[in-house]
Amino acid sequence: MTNTQMQGTATLDEQRAEFSRNRFLAMPIAGAIAWTFVGIAGAFLPVKQAAIALFIGTGTIFYLAIFIARFTGEDVLGRTRKNNAFDRLLFLTVFMALLVYAIAIPFFLIERTSLPLTVGILTGLMWIPFSGMIQHWVGLFHGVVRTVLIVVAWYLFPEGRFVIIPAVIVGIYLITIYFLANRLRLPSANAIPAQ
């Protein structure tokens, strides 16, 4: 038994292993539901009301994930993993995603259709550190592909930004959910290579 185990404190590697055993499906399922709501609102509402729907929809993702976790059997709040540094880091990435509204709101006040672009990209950035936390490429895939496709959609569909961009995000979420659901089956094949 190591000193850290005798003291009741797990090493970072042990904490990461414990954290990584979570399925992490509740948050992307919640994101897919919220962005579907945003896209539907964008199809039927004028830009101002569609923007309000986007603020409401994306603002409820974390709370919706807590509810969905009851059905996926996940511990979104990290209650069973006491003092796990990776749970704290995950909460900090969620907090970081909320702070990006400080960029999105002023830009939105100048250009109303900018909201799906800014919120879609900035809140998706939390997936990149998540990849490092679980040592799996799916977060990098999510963050990078989501960003690239949102920018492409922004330029190609200026009249449909509140519909096409949410559709892109939902599509990326569905792919991410698939890989997260299957990542624990073949952990060695899915891991990010050690550096």
CA distances in angstroms from 159 to 30, 36, 46, 113, 167, listed in the order given:
26, 18, 11, 9, 14
* Within-domain flag for 190: no
Answer positive or negative: Cα dihedral of 176, 179, 182, 188. negative
* Within-domain flag for 159: yes
In the chain, the N- to C-terminal Cα span, in Å, equals: 28
Residue-level pLDDT, tens digit, the chain, 195 residues: 343 443 457 788 888 888 788 889 999 999 999 999 999 999 999 999 999 999 999 999 989 999 999 998 887 776 776 778 888 888 888 888 888 889 999 999 999 999 999 999 999 999 999 998 888 999 999 999 999 999 999 999 999 999 999 999 999 999 999 999 998 775 544 555 544
User: What pLDDT score does 192 carry?
Assistant: 56
* Within-domain flag for 50: yes
**Residue 191 β-bridge partners:** 136
Domain count, the chain: 1
Give CA–CA dist 107/72, Å, rounded: 37
* Within-domain flag for 137: yes
* Within-domain flag for 27: yes
* Within-domain flag for 192: no
**What range does the domain containing 130 cover?**
19-75+84-183
Which amino acid, 9? T
* Within-domain flag for 6: no
* Within-domain flag for 8: no
User: What pLDDT score does 190 carry?
Assistant: 52
pTM: 0.85
User: What pLDDT score does 8 carry?
Assistant: 58
